[in-house]
Amino acid sequence: MGYNNNRVGYQEALLGSRSVIKKDNFALIPHDGLVKNTIPGFENVDVSILGSPRLGAGFVDYIATFQKGGKHTGFGGEGIETLVYVIAGKLEVTDGKETDVLEAGGYAYYPASVIMKDHEAAKRPGQPDRSLHVQEALPTTGRPRGPQGSRQQKRPGRHRIRRHEGRLVMGLLANR
């Protein structure tokens, strides 16, 4: 069942696309395979989990569709880096001190210990706001980070707001 495209039931075509999940390797989830999840802190937002440590990833990523009045009450925290990338629409993000409105192709990065809050901004009729949320938990020094090794220190710096092409952001995620 795919809530995103309202297709439910079994595939009709012999070579129809289906979700494929290979733990500790990859997950391929077409629109038909997206499942609407209930995630604490998301209000009036359709959320699908795309990757998580239970699948073998060293991070958690969600795709979120903000409905009218949709918001998230706090993302990130101690030991957790957060990145949000706007796929379509506009999203307002804040760390409690600075507030920015991101449009499609924009992203915001928040280092560990900073709480990010976001909500839909400037709603356009019939156009949901979609974003990709990525969190990475940073283990304490010396603890393994998964099959790839361990991370010895947190990355310093403050949050960054950038408005670039999607391929740059996806490259950033791929190199993590």
Least confident of 16-30, 40-54, 127-141, 155-169: 155-169
**For 135-140, what is the mean pLDDT?**
57
Confidence of residue 70 (pLDDT cuts 50, 70, 90): confident
pTM, full prediction: 0.64
> Phi, psi (5° rounding) for residue 175?
-90, 5
Confidence of residue 175 (pLDDT cuts 50, 70, 90): very low
Q: Greater confidence, 55 or 176?
A: 55
Q: Are 20 and 51 in contact (CB under 8 A)?
A: no
Provide the residue ranges of all domains of the chain, joining segments of one domain with +: 1-35, 36-141+156-174
- Fold that domain 36-141+156-174 belongs to in CATH: Jelly Rolls (2.60.120)
Q: What number of other Cβ atoms are within 10 A of residue 73's Cβ?
A: 12
How much is the pLDDT for 167?
33
